[in-house]
Amino acid sequence: MLKASLRGIWDHKVRTLLLAVAVVAGVSFVSASFVFTDTIGDAFSGAFADAAESLDAAVTIDPDTIEDDFAFGQQRIDASLEQEIAAVEGVDGVFANLTAFVQIIEEDAAATAGFGGPPNFLFAWTGAPGSFQLVAGRAPEAGELLVDADTAADKGWSIGDTVVFSALGPNETATLVGIGDFEGGNPFGGAVFLFAPLEEVQRLADAEGQADTFDITFVDGADAEDTLAAIAAILPEGVRAIDAQTAAAEAAEELEQGLSFITIFLLIFAAVAVSVGIFVVYNAFRTVIGQRTRELALFRLLGATRRQVLTSVLVEAAVIGMVATVLGIPGGVVLALVLRLALSIFGGDLPAGNITLAPRTVLIAAAVGIFTTVLSALIPAIRASRVLPMAALSDVHARRIPTVRRWVITGVLLSAGLGVSYWALAADQALWIVGVGALLIMAGTYALGAAVSNIAMHGAGRAIDVIGKPFRRSGTTITRQMAIENARRAPRRTGATAGALMIGVSLVTAVAIIVFSIQTTTQKALEQAFPADAVVFPGFGPIQALPEGVEDAVRELPEVETAAAIKSAPARVNGQTDFLVGVNPEETDLIVVFDRIEGSFDDLVGATVAVQRSEAERVDLALGDDVEIFVTGDPVDHEIVAIFDLGSDVSDQASFYINKEQYATLDPTLPDIQMSVAFADGVGIDEGKAAVETALEDFGGAQIFTQEDLLGQIEAALLGVLVLIFGLLAMSILIALIGVVLILSLSVFERTREIGLVRAIGMIRSQVRSMVRWEAFLVAVLGAVLGMLAGLALGWFGSWAVFGEGFSYDVPWLPVIGGIFGAGIAGLIAAWWPAYRAANLNILEAIAYE
Amino acid sequence: MTKTTTTAARAVDASKVYGEGDTAVHALRNISVEFAAGEFTAIMGPSGSGKSTLMHCLAGLDSLTSGQVFLGDTNLGMLNDKQLTELRRDNIGFVFQAFNLIPTLTARENILLPITIAGGKPESEWVENVIDILDIRDRLGHRPSEMSGGQQQRVAAARALASRPAVIFGDEPSGNLDSNSSAELLGFLRRAVDEFGQTMIMVTHEPSAAAYSDRIVFLSDGHIVDEMRDPTAEKVLDRLKTLEG
């Protein structure tokens, strides 16, 4: 029995391979996500471990004492601690580290401009032992810089050159005096490393007398544990001493965590690809089992037990899963490489280095590959084991008609899905409940496919008859009619084939609708809620900040009527983290369009706050009440002096506004984050923009955007997102198309005798091909239409989930309808091989085929 | 009444070899035979005698290794697949032993299939006539699975007649039928030959079926070994005994 099933696999090599390919994509996505994470992780840990090799200990802020996430990274250590640590017995050297984010100002303004790009770091040059060492020139003094060798080569700098850069302020000029490099090459591809003396970095980072961390070396022969304990004993609260390797591991982990979203992203697509693969494999196995009924019954008749039949089918599935795993893991490695390349092109700062394929990755990939295949084959296998021996003696090709039960299942699933999603969103439930609803909608649509396929095929036939009448060529009607009848013969199979395609198409449609809705909503929001002529944004760095002095410089321009910079950062307001915006009360009109203000922004002076009405109503606040605001230091009560509505229905605006000067007392280090600009009367948008741009040249990186510019930026960014998601979803559509190829091949195989007959009585090859292609086309279009319907629903709920109440829902009809035709054409391509096989069957063998 | 002696189909020095070398099987060995138009010819012989191969080659379903087959004046060896297919569609009718019909189409659709494949319009008067002669009018809207074996074969015969082909080939057309249905079907085919001058070539191993023909060609081991005119079941049975013995 086992031999028979292995022989079966070998006899159907193409089928086995196609089935394996249907599973491969899922395996690849899964392995890619782990390979990617491990590779990046190893590179980071390796680089940090190398850097820490010659060090013994580190002093850092204790992360456990940081209460609020938003305060993390802003806390620093008093640099004077250096002398105290150096005095501890056993300590040899102490090196104070401090990092500032800077922007290198290129001569070509366009090269400087733009968001993103690899970060530019300015470190304090400590001369500490480690993997990064001076290779040319000398250590920097005030007004001088040292740069890493890769950057020097990249920018064409040599010692003695002048470098212009900016660190949250006016442009700085420094002379390049040294070049350093990592031992064994730079593991942080793309990032720019600049070094300056500690005092310079402190000035530029606005951190006078402070350090981020200290690196420490011990004297030879000192007891590491004792020395570490002795250092710890003199440290103030909230600062800790750890050994150097632990510190390196923590630093690496922190960077890795920043990339974990990529892993999650990949795993989501893995889940989609795996589930489409499951449907394809299930459908193919079901069909094959149906066709093999006689053969299986013969085995039973000859004495094979049910268990043996079950095992033989599952073994076949497991072999397919293994083939998929073997193909999928290299696919995953390639995908991870491509992803790393793509991210570094788009300015991600990813370490180079060897690809890591951990044993765990192989195990998980194999588990996914084999388990999903066996799982998909389980129900067909159980059915196979229930074949009665007597079936060997009877004809079993019965036509199955969709039952009332199927309609009931479809109805229940669909209404449950729509109901759950609606309820979850309307009643503000957790997002995962919406997800459950979405899954139910998909399941319902899938069931709908099987229930509706016969009617749909019939309807399609009628529609084509009517539409195609004037164009009809002779002899084509019959091929289409036969194709439709073939599709109707096995409605569940047709429904399942279309259903696999439906999954991908529905997700694409939903994503397209959500992105399109975001775009139109943003556009509307900008038009409604953008009172300024233009906005100036900082152009760089993970800490977004406008250079100091920008506001005054722009305000003084004759072309500018007024300019208003704001501060904005997460803060703890009444115990909840929320965005807190600092504005100048006279200039609020330039920032946001407020509507229906109760109280007045004029009173926004000192410890006062303006609250959005929806937020005030939510927590039951009225004018005169106090709101507790915590930024740094101690929480401060602020009295509500204004409650406002927003002039637009955009929901992602901040709810709390305080006076900008008040913000400075709460957090003196928080820089301005953006600035609205109104041009003087009679100054055109282009003219005003050009004037501001000239003024901004002295402030590295800051850029002015008009409303039109912003829309362009948003459109470009959304397009990028759309392309990325479509690219990944294309995989699942591809799998579904492989499913079309498989099922059509099986159908052709099943109808060998019929095809032989029609060939004998005079159907030419092109007509046979056309018959198969019509079936593929109609099944693909059915899948796409179902996918579109599900996508319309998912997109509606998705937009609701993204925007909340009052969301806008915009369907990009042209691409959506176009996509259906695209699916039809893809179906025709999928039909190529089965059509070829059908047309080239040997007529005599086909007629004699049992 | 003298019969016209036009030849509907003929084989000239026809040989067919399957396989190569030691395993080669000579299904036909230099056969030359003519089939007169308007005649009902049966091809008989034991299994493996080459009777089916001869029919397949005459009908353009298989090709010869050497020699020629002609349908009317057309040398089938000179045609490509498309021309051959169109020749079968327009000039040849088929009645196979079983599975003659497309299960998804109704009886009427099956009957008209060769004509619709050709994109032509059926001669409705003729087709209606055929339907009546074969007594299947009340089955026209049914699918094959809803018909008896005899009805299915009659629908197949109607399809073969519908396009008024030059020759109808039958491959054991009554082989799966009980004696009543068999007699009915063969009677209809006989009528088609007598009343409409239809040429009919049928492979069979049943003497009772062969008895409906005008002429029997006996094959054995790839050779034509004998011929018989105006056969009866008894005469055929006797002849077969000597052939096999």
Q: How far apart, in whole angstroms, are the C-alpha atoms of residue A622 and residue A641?
A: 9
- Three-state SS letters, A672-705: CCEEEEEECCCCCHHHHHHHHHHHHCCCCCCEEE
> Is residue A64 very low, low, confident or very high in pLDDT (cuts 50, 70, 90)?
confident
> Is residue A189 very low, low, confident or very high in pLDDT (cuts 50, 70, 90)?
low
pLDDT digits (tens, 9 = 90+) for A574-599: 877 778 888 888 888 777 777 778 88
Q: Which residues partner with A537 through β-bridges?
A: A703
Task: Provide the H-helix boundaries in A530-626.
Answer: 550-555, 588-591, 613-618
| Nearest by Cα to A588 from A532, A641, A640, A546 | A532
Give the residue-averaged pLDDT of B230-241.
87
pLDDT at A844: 85
Return the SS3 of B212.
coil
Q: How far apart, in whole angstroms, are the C-alpha atoms of residue B186 and residue A293?
A: 35
Alpha-carbon gap: B63 to the closest alpha carbon of chain A (Å):
11
Q: Which amino acid is at B241?
A: K
Best residue in A477, A750, A759, A761 for a mutation probing chain B (most B CBs within 10 Å): A761
Judged against a pLDDT cut of 50, whether residue A115 lies above it is answered with no
A408-412 long-range contacts, CB within 8 A, separation 24+: A409/A447, A410/A444, A410/A447, A410/A448, A410/A451, A411/A444, A412/A444
Q: From the list A758, A764, A765, which residue is nearest B102 (CB)?
A: A758
> Is residue B37 very low, low, confident or very high in pLDDT (cuts 50, 70, 90)?
very high
Tokens of B162: 């519908």
> Is residue A247 very low, low, confident or very high in pLDDT (cuts 50, 70, 90)?
confident
Task: Provide the H-helix boundaries in A258-292.
Answer: 260-291
Phi, psi at A123, each rounded to 5°: -105, 155
> Is residue A345 very low, low, confident or very high in pLDDT (cuts 50, 70, 90)?
low
Phi, psi at A47, each rounded to 5°: -65, -45
Judged against a pLDDT cut of 60, whether residue A116 lies above it is answered with no
> Is residue A184 very low, low, confident or very high in pLDDT (cuts 50, 70, 90)?
low
> Is residue A652 very low, low, confident or very high in pLDDT (cuts 50, 70, 90)?
low
Judged against a pLDDT cut of 50, whether residue B2 lies above it is answered with no
Q: How far apart, in whole angstroms, are the C-alpha atoms of residue A599 and residue A571?
A: 23
Q: Output the pTM of the full model.
A: 0.75
| pLDDT > 90 fraction of chain A, expressed in percent and rounded | 9
Q: How far apart, in whole angstroms, are the C-alpha atoms of residue A241 and residue A227?
A: 10
Scanning every residue of chain A, which has its alpha carbon at the shortest distance from the alpha carbon of B118? A475
| Nearest by Cα to B100 from B210, B207, B176, B179 | B176
Best residue in B102, B153, B169, B171 for a mutation probing chain A (most A CBs within 10 Å): B102
Pick the more confident residue, B34 or A710.
B34
- Could you report the predicted ipTM of this complex, rounded to two decimals? 0.90
pLDDT at A800: 86
Q: How far apart, in whole angstroms, are the C-alpha atoms of residue A344 and residue A18?
A: 34
Tokens of A541: 């760095």
> Is residue A470 very low, low, confident or very high in pLDDT (cuts 50, 70, 90)?
low
Question: Contact A99/A201 with Cβ under 8 angstroms?
Answer: yes
Question: Contact B149/B121 with Cβ under 8 angstroms?
Answer: no
Q: Do B96 and A762 touch (CB under 8 A)?
A: no
> Is residue A539 very low, low, confident or very high in pLDDT (cuts 50, 70, 90)?
low
Return the SS3 of A346.
coil
The answer to which of A56-70, A236-250, A389-403, A451-465 has the lowest mean pLDDT is: A389-403
Judged against a pLDDT cut of 90, whether residue B155 lies above it is answered with yes
| Nearest by Cα to A776 from A807, A806, A746 | A746
> Is residue B16 very low, low, confident or very high in pLDDT (cuts 50, 70, 90)?
very high
* DSSP classification of residue A797: H
Q: How far apart, in whole angstroms, are the C-alpha atoms of residue B70 and residue B216?
A: 19
Give the residue-averaged pLDDT of A52-76.
70
Tokens of A839: 């047309």
pLDDT at A111: 45
- Region of residue A71 (phi > 0: left; psi between -120 and 50: alpha; otherwise: beta): alpha
Q: How far apart, in whole angstroms, are the C-alpha atoms of residue A284 and residue A221?
A: 70
Q: Do B85 and A763 touch (CB under 8 A)?
A: yes
Tokens of A739: 């499913």
The answer to which of A52-61, A110-119, A139-148, B111-120 has the lowest mean pLDDT is: A110-119
B75 touches chain A (CB under 8 A): no
pLDDT at A653: 65
Q: Do B117 and A482 touch (CB under 8 A)?
A: no
Scanning every residue of chain B, which has its alpha carbon at the shortest distance from the alpha carbon of A765? B82
B144 touches chain A (CB under 8 A): no
Tokens of A381: 């296998």
Q: Do A762 and B90 touch (CB under 8 A)?
A: yes
Quickly tell me which residue has 């198969």 as its tokens.
Answer: A772
> Is residue A815 very low, low, confident or very high in pLDDT (cuts 50, 70, 90)?
confident
* DSSP classification of residue B49: S
Compute the mean pLDDT over every residue in chain A, rounded to the nearest whole number. Answer: 82
Q: How far apart, in whole angstroms, are the C-alpha atoms of residue A281 and residue A314?
A: 12
pLDDT at A352: 64
Tokens of A126: 């400590």
With the CA atoms of A509, A512, A513 and A515 taken in that order, what torsion angle do they form, in degrees rounded to the nearest 10? 160
Judged against a pLDDT cut of 60, whether residue A355 lies above it is answered with yes
Q: From the list A476, A762, A765, which residue is nearest B88 (CB)?
A: A762
Tell me which chain B residues have a C-beta less than 8 angstroms from the C-beta of A759: 85
pLDDT digits (tens, 9 = 90+) for A719-753: 877 887 887 788 788 888 888 888 888 888 888 88
Tokens of A173: 């000029």
Tell me which chain A residues have a C-beta less than 8 angstroms from the C-beta of B117: 475, 478, 758, 761-763, 767
Cβ-based neighbours of A763, under 8 Å, separated by 6 or more: A479, A771, B85, B89, B117
What CA–CA distances, in Å, run from B205 to A86, B40, B176, B221?
A: 112, 15, 12, 15
Q: Which residues partner with A627 through β-bridges?
A: A638
Question: Contact B100/B139 with Cβ under 8 angstroms?
Answer: no
Question: Contact B160/B84 with Cβ under 8 angstroms?
Answer: no
- Select the highest-mean-pLDDT range: A546-560, A798-812, B63-77: B63-77
pLDDT at A400: 53
Tell me which chain B residues have a C-beta less than 8 angstroms from the C-beta of A494: none
Cβ-based neighbours of A21, under 8 Å, separated by 6 or more: A324, A327, A735, A738
Tell me which chain A residues have a C-beta less than 8 angstroms from the C-beta of B62: 844
B141 touches chain A (CB under 8 A): no
Q: How far apart, in whole angstroms, are the C-alpha atoms of residue A101 and residue A121?
A: 5
Question: Contact A62/A235 with Cβ under 8 angstroms?
Answer: no
Give the residue-averaged pLDDT of A785-796.
92
Q: From the list A485, A753, A761, which residue is nearest B89 (CB)?
A: A761
Tokens of A37: 């994470």
pLDDT at A108: 56
Q: From the list B94, B103, B119, which residue is nearest A760 (CB)?
A: B94
Give the residue-averaged pLDDT of A551-562.
87
* DSSP classification of residue A761: T
Q: Is the dihedral of CA B66, B71, B77, B82 positive or negative?
A: negative
Q: Do A763 and B105 touch (CB under 8 A)?
A: no
* DSSP classification of residue A400: P
pLDDT at A353: 67
CA angle B213, B219, B222 (to 5 degrees): 150
Tell me which chain A residues have a C-beta less than 8 angstroms from the C-beta of B92: 762
Scanning every residue of chain A, which has its alpha carbon at the shortest distance from the alpha carbon of B121? A474
B108 touches chain A (CB under 8 A): no
Q: Which amino acid is at A458?
A: H
Tell me which chain A residues have a C-beta less than 8 angstroms from the C-beta of B103: 397, 489, 754
pLDDT at A542: 46
> Is residue B34 very low, low, confident or very high in pLDDT (cuts 50, 70, 90)?
very high
Give the residue-averaged pLDDT of A270-285.
86
Determine which helix (DSSP H) or strand (DSSP E) holds A107, and give its type and residue range.
none
> Is residue A647 very low, low, confident or very high in pLDDT (cuts 50, 70, 90)?
low
